[in-house]
Amino acid sequence: MHYDDKNKATEKAKNLTKIGIEKVRNNKPLETIETPIGKRVLVIGGGIAGIQAALDLGDAGYEVHLVEKNATIGGRMAQLSRTFPTNDCAACILGSKMAAIPKNKNIKLSNYSEIEKIEGTIGNFNVTIRKKPTYVHADACVSCGDCVAPCPVSLKDEMQWGVTKRKSIYLPIDFAVPNKYLIDGDKCLNIKAQKKTGEPSKVCRLCEKACHQGAIDFSMKAEKEEFIVDTIIVATGHDVFDATRKPEYGYGKYENVMIAPEVERVIVHKGEGTPTIDMGERIAFIQCVGSRDEQIGREYCSRVCCMYATKLSQLIKSMANVNGENKDIYVFYTDMRTFGKGYEEYYKATQRMGVKFVRGRPAEVIEDSVTKKLIIKVEDTLNNIIIESEFDKVVLSVGMQLSEGGNEIAEILKLPKSEDGFLQEAHPKFRPVDTSKDGIFIAGTAQGPKDIPDSVAQASATAARAMRLMNQGKITEEPLKAFIETDLCDGCELCINSCPPNAITMQNGKVVVNPVMCKGCGMCIASCHADAIDLNMYTNRQMLAEVEAALKDKKEDERIVLIFANDMCGYKLADSVGTAKKAYSDAIRIIKVPSTSRITPQLMLQAFSMGADGILLADCEIKSSDFAGSIETAINYVDKVKNILTEIDEDPERVMIFQFATVMLPKFVALMNQMSDIAYKNKPISDKNKEIIHKNISKWLFEK
């Protein structure tokens, strides 16, 4: 806004109009980009999140292929006793969801299967899965269970966290879906022998003899299946922290130290009347094992442990009350994070039952070698005392981490992970279930620790997000995309690494841009020494023409500072300067760009060689993962130009980059004026230096 000098203001207005005209003059006709997309979805992971997403999509008429690596779906929720804060039996509420999967004619379930390979992009993901052999024909097996008794191999049941045993031929859990028996190929004597010799074996075929249906088939082989989907939902869940990594708590060494998932199974079996582990009279819960701990590289909070420890202590106490037993339960916590709906009330109810909550994080657990009881030494930080007490059982509330399967899928799909090791969402607030890859969504504990309500909510959210893309049969986008001048491309491949969504690939010796994956940031442009890659709506020619128009008629006493402002933040801020009627220097010319990384060092140097007195790049303060790495790239470019200016004895402060939040109006105005001051303080760049820059751009930027 230039209140003081109306003539100057008019001149500037004319200049700005010229800039706009040059941009438009260099426009070429563009069409919206349309990509066809079908209705096929791959859901990886059959836990509660995967199940919910599959059901939502199946009910909406989409074709779902649900792939689960275990023999049964249900995931971690199937291993719980009851769920907070309602104390609903997990198997009951989950069971009906699980049963709905095979009933839904739009859902195809591939259990006991793993993803081998996924290639391609949205609308065309080529998936290869490998179904492991169960050695039991599902269509013949009637789940009678006669095969179990004769089996000689007894093993710890992993589904039951080792609290009970199973045989080598087994039903994963009584409410398993599919409800079919299978043989553990790593532990079955016959199959082990078969694998060694490569020949059919007769070492032990007792189950085969016992089966009236003839369902058992030791010759079964793994099967591969290939199919194409349009979108993918990753719901691979979590593993729990390996408590042996905290040796001071003695898990794995002391028999009476347990982890919380084991206690879930003890409670389930006690409810069924099956005796398993006697929890004794005095039980201690230690919170934050594997969470909030820099010593083992797990700084984050696992979100559910406060609640599940409260739940387990509540359940143990109430079961004891029913049986007339006495239990002394202590929960040693650092914070009680009971934030959800009904959670605080649940915590209070547990306190009312007489469970004692002590604020202190135990340093170590010591075992009495004779009684095998455990002594915990802990500071009650609210009471300023040190408690040394004996317990019958110590339960470690272990935290969550990305599952092994999740890690594998992240590798296959090249999904980025957050600092906490979980899969990273596209934007923490506004795109919590998208990933930076179009068409791939994440839900449940794969994205981060959370409880069941949040997992289900996220799952339905991914279904909605996927449907949003697939519903209209095609994806339409603005043509703000990079394109290749194929004749000029020399196949050096430098642009490929510069593209955050990996939209550029090599084909027949030249690069090709996938228009669906390209986000139009322009980071690739600077990497090309052959001018072979360019950006629609912001072509090199357009940018240069705009700069030229701004500087062509510059007078001797005039100074011109170019501000390249990015669409999302910088340009919006510039607009608001106008609507707020703030005054600033008349030297400023504002030019819009999609991202400041579009402004190549070449362009900045060309601008200086044409007489620019200053350049300011105005970008976002927020981290937008669409253009991941763009700010770092732009800062890099600015540093390059600063160095070059210093070398030719020009003021490096002439070029600057700043990250703005859209509320930083005063800062924006201050910076504009600051740049203008620098421009006026210095003489314009000498003709000699302009020549030098013009002649050496290629040499400086592209020669090693």
Q: Which of 456, 458, 446 is nearest to 410 (CA)?
A: 446
Instruction: Report phi then psi at 109, rounded to 5.
Output: -100, 125
Q: How far is the CB of 111 from other proteins (least distance, A)?
A: 39
Cβ proximity of 123 and 36 under 8 Å: yes
Task: Compute the distance between CA of residue 491 and CA of residue 495 in angstroms, rounded to an integer.
Answer: 9
* H or E element that contains 48: helix 48-59
10/383 with CB nearer other proteins: 383
Place of tokens 């253009």: 627
Q: How far is the CB of 652 from other proteins (least distance, A)?
A: 26
How are beta strands 124-131 and 154-156 bridged, if at all?
A: unpaired
Contacts of 415 (CB under 8 A, 6+ apart): 234, 409, 423, 424, 435, 437, 440, 442
**Quick one: which of 164, 334, 407, 696 contacts other proteins (CB under 8 A)?**
334
**Quick one: which of 145, 152, 247, 578 contacts other proteins (CB under 8 A)?**
247
Q: Is 261 in the site for other proteins (CB under 8 A)?
A: no
Q: How many residues does the chain have?
A: 704
2/292 with CB nearer other proteins: 292
Q: How far is the CB of 316 from other proteins (least distance, A)?
A: 25
**Range list of β-strands (E), 392-443:** 393-398, 400-402, 440-442
**Quick one: which of 88, 157, 293, 328 contacts other proteins (CB under 8 A)?**
293
Q: How far is the CB of 407 from other proteins (least distance, A)?
A: 24
301/526 with CB nearer other proteins: 301
Binding mask 617-636 for other proteins (x = CB under 8 A): --------------------
Q: Is 337 in the site for other proteins (CB under 8 A)?
A: no
Q: Is 364 in the site for other proteins (CB under 8 A)?
A: yes
Q: Is 362 in the site for other proteins (CB under 8 A)?
A: yes
Q: Is 439 in the site for other proteins (CB under 8 A)?
A: no
Q: Is 295 in the site for other proteins (CB under 8 A)?
A: yes
406 is written with which tokens? 């999740």
Task: Compute the distance between CA of residue 307 and CA of residue 702 in angstroms, rounded to an integer.
Answer: 58
Q: At what angle do helices 630-647 and 687-702 cross, to 10 degrees?
A: 130
- 386-400 in b/e form (b: 16+ CB < 10 A) is eeeeebbbbbbbbbb
| Piece of 143-151, 173-181, 290-298, 508-516 that binds other proteins (CB under 8 A) | 290-298
**Quick one: which of 18, 269, 292, 554 contacts other proteins (CB under 8 A)?**
292
295/507 with CB nearer other proteins: 295
145/247 with CB nearer other proteins: 247
Q: Which of 540, 539, 566, 537 is nearest to 479 (CA)?
A: 537
Q: How far is the CB of 331 from other proteins (least distance, A)?
A: 14
Contacts of 635 (CB under 8 A, 6+ apart): 657
Q: How far is the CB of 553 from other proteins (least distance, A)?
A: 53
**Quick one: which of 7, 32, 219, 384 contacts other proteins (CB under 8 A)?**
384
Q: Is 363 in the site for other proteins (CB under 8 A)?
A: yes
Contacts of 517 (CB under 8 A, 6+ apart): 121, 122, 437, 438, 501, 502, 503
Q: Is 360 in the site for other proteins (CB under 8 A)?
A: yes
- Catalog residues that contact other proteins under the rule CB under 8 A: 246-248, 288, 292-295, 334-335, 359-364, 366, 369, 377-381, 384, 386
